[in-house]
Amino acid sequence: MRTATILAAAAAAAALAASAATAAPAERSFTRDGHTYVYTTSALDSQRTVIEGREVGRGGRFRLVVNGDRVSGQANGVPVSFRAAQPLPANVAGVAN
């Protein structure tokens, strides 16, 4: 049950990252179902974006790799994989060095 909440929150983070276009990996936050999460995004390479974050107060962590509309990674130590509602814009995480 708790993993499902973190998975839903991670999906929300992917959606939020799509709407927040920035080159700097500034920490952002959102609240879902009464739980607050903080996360950062960064370019893994020219095709993939990493979203890393945690639940405030409880410490549940997630690390997601977004490649087009595919998202995979871990949420609270559990492997996850799902399709995003839309691919992230190319400028969300910036260009990898």
Q: Please state, in angstroms and rounded to a whole number, the distance separating the CA atoms of residues 25 and 27.
A: 6
What is the predicted pLDDT for the residue at 41? 93
Beta bridge partners of 62: 53, 75
Q: Which residues of 1-97 form beta strands (DSSP E)?
A: 28-32, 35-43, 48-55, 61-67, 70-75, 78-83
Question: What pTM was estimated for this model as a whole?
Answer: 0.68
Looking up tokens 């939020």, which residue turns up?
16
Going by pLDDT thresholds of 50, 70 and 90, the confidence category of residue 22 is very low
Give the distance from CA 37 to its chain's centroid.
10
Mean pLDDT (the chain, rounded): 80
Residue 51 has pLDDT above 80, yes or no: yes
